Structure 1
């Protein structure tokens, strides 16, 4: 996990995300009066950009904590921008850090795919409990997760790719047996399972246009960073209901998030609050949306309702990755119990 973020190409990808950058920049600079003469903690500082903005907004001291080697680049940037007297970059995992003082504000860009991939929010919550003064502010302060039914041709393409891969495997078995005298067919169940997971049970990153959405979004989780505990979001299991907006097909569900910068009750952010929204059609972000495809597609009509239960859990083999399970049915209002719900399970890698 950490080694991915220590390369500058990865930091560059995030720094080029204009909607990410503008949201954080505006949230900090529009609230300079809250940063002036304050102590700030930047959790997962990366390149140090948020630490630099906090200092430019008037903070008297900024601690930028970064676990990877990119901390060395952050120190160079701090020095190059003449802020070494204000910003201290600490190369360490957040949970191993000791600070000499409590802080007034915590800033962090902790969000992953579908908000919770990477589990970095855990470190923000830990830092809040250990270092944030009573009444202190978190930037961002709130987050919300959404799903909605969608349609494009990706599910059909992925199913076709899976079928083609299995056909190629069959040819490979025949060739290996004929040319080399080895029967490898005993590996077929494992190979098919691996390919099924890759093509069908893996969530797909997409930058969806709004016209791919065929139903109203449903908020499935709200997180108030001021009070949330890790147990509040470690496992999510909630019902959802999304009205269908048009006659179309449904090929899966899209998942995304938004974060809001409201400050705290004692130091409320300037209104209107800055909102970083990663919804389809709102513009590119490096988070995009996660698409949970299913096949075959389902024909729907305006007025139908897609409903069921969505579960988001951490993978047992890697707590920073996610499993998403959606039990869903699409029916006309008033149709009674309707069909038996379908169940899909996807991995967010």
Structure 2
């Protein structure tokens, strides 16, 4: 009452300011969130987290600085090049020609980075899978951050071995070329309570079915060294100069040597890699006992058991470990769908039969498991 009617004036539409997108980034600039789901390597956040304060980046930087005699005036191939950082390090170390290859559209960023650092006369960025590309010449060395979780899962080993056969000169090097995978037993009860046992009572509701899912999949976490019960047992050794596809699996007897008595809640796996031709020995390790200020994208792989069991120093613990692709006989090796199986028995010093402790499997795959797959994983 008493208010006058006033017409609201419509403001003119504010024009969108012009955007200048570098030629190299026009393809990435048009990507949607759905596109990044299938190519997250091309996302800026992923590029930052994969490089910032990362242990493996410091490892490669030190390797190339200390072994410039292997890189100088050589033709090199950098697989899984990402933003081109490793290729730039190789060029700075004196490489004559560097081929930087990646099947992600992150290569668009790599082209821009190479240009802005004035290395376009040395580094040639190529987009595509190894099977689709052709190089004008063989190379003296291959540099690749090929490692995956548990060394094999989601690794670039298939691409690397194909590149080795097609393009590496006789006597050429692979950096890094030596790797080992280790198994331990651990009393990580707090981590198990957080990741698995939490589902036993969720706001006074029984959600044991979800605990079964949690127990069926490996977890990646930072393990505390003081919770380890056993010594590290080597379960796999790889020499990338000679390894074949048929050797990218584990099926062997294991024996765990107990250092401290305690209840084992999980098995832990970690890996080490090194370069055999380094001027000075240098190892990239995911050992949980290692103290470092750097981060690791792999952490340690944790395999939780259904029921914890006591491990005693005076007893012997023997069994079998299987880690292999889920590909059926006749199918190509697939490092994106893999499976762990562990069988462990407790033996007295003079007992040859032993008491069964664990007979369990864990699936590693980029999708949710089916009910049947989860049921098959239970102890």
Residue 292 of structure 1, CA deviation:
0.4
Residue 166 of structure 1, CA deviation:
11
Q: Once structures 1 and 2 are overlaid, which stretch shifts more, 327-336 or 196-205?
A: 327-336
In structure 2, distance between residues paired with 1:196 and 1:298: 18
CA deviation vs aligned residue, 1:139-170 (integer Å, no higher than 9, x gap): 00111111111111133444433333697478
Matched, 1:301 2:312: yes
Give the paired residue count.
320
Gaps of 5+ in 1: 171-190, 264-268
Residue 220 of structure 1, CA deviation:
0.6
Residue 316 of structure 1, CA deviation:
4.4
TM-score by length of 2: 0.79
- Picking from 342, 352, 363, the partner of 1:336 is 352
CA deviation vs aligned residue, 1:198-255 (integer Å, no higher than 9, x gap): 311111111112112110111111110001111111x321111110001211111101
Gaps of 5+ in 2: 1-36, 329-333, 366-379
Matched, 1:252 2:260: no
- 2:286 aligned residue: 278
- Picking from 94, 105, 108, the partner of 1:69 is 105
For 1:167-178, what aligned pairs fall within 5 Å after superposition?
A: 168=205
Residue 280 of structure 1, CA deviation:
0.6
Q: Report the structure number with the largest CA radius of gyration.
A: 2
In structure 2, distance between residues paired with 1:288 and 1:111: 12
For 1:180-219, what aligned pairs fall within 5 Å after superposition?
A: 192=209, 195-219=210-234
- 1:6 aligned residue: 42
For 1:64-103, what aligned pairs fall within 5 Å after superposition?
A: 64-103=100-139
- 1:121 aligned residue: 157
- Would the aligned equivalents of 2:223 and 2:288 in 1 still touch at CA under 8 Å? yes
- 2:251 aligned residue: 237
Instruction: Rate the CA distance shift 1:231–1:63 in 2: closer, same or farther, 3 A.
Output: same
In structure 1, distance between residues paired with 2:85 and 2:213: 35
- 2:323 aligned residue: 312
- 2:343 aligned residue: 327
- Picking from 219, 224, 236, the partner of 1:221 is 236
Instruction: Rate the CA distance shift 1:257–1:327 in 2: closer, same or farther, 3 A.
Output: same
In structure 2, distance between residues paired with 1:339 and 1:29: 52
TM-score by length of 1: 0.86
Give the root-mean-square deviation of aligned CA atoms: 2.1
Q: Relative contact order (C-alpha < 8 Å, sep 6+): which is higher?
A: 1
Which portions of structure 1, spanning 4 or more consecutive aligned residues, are displaced by more than 6 angstroms?
A: none
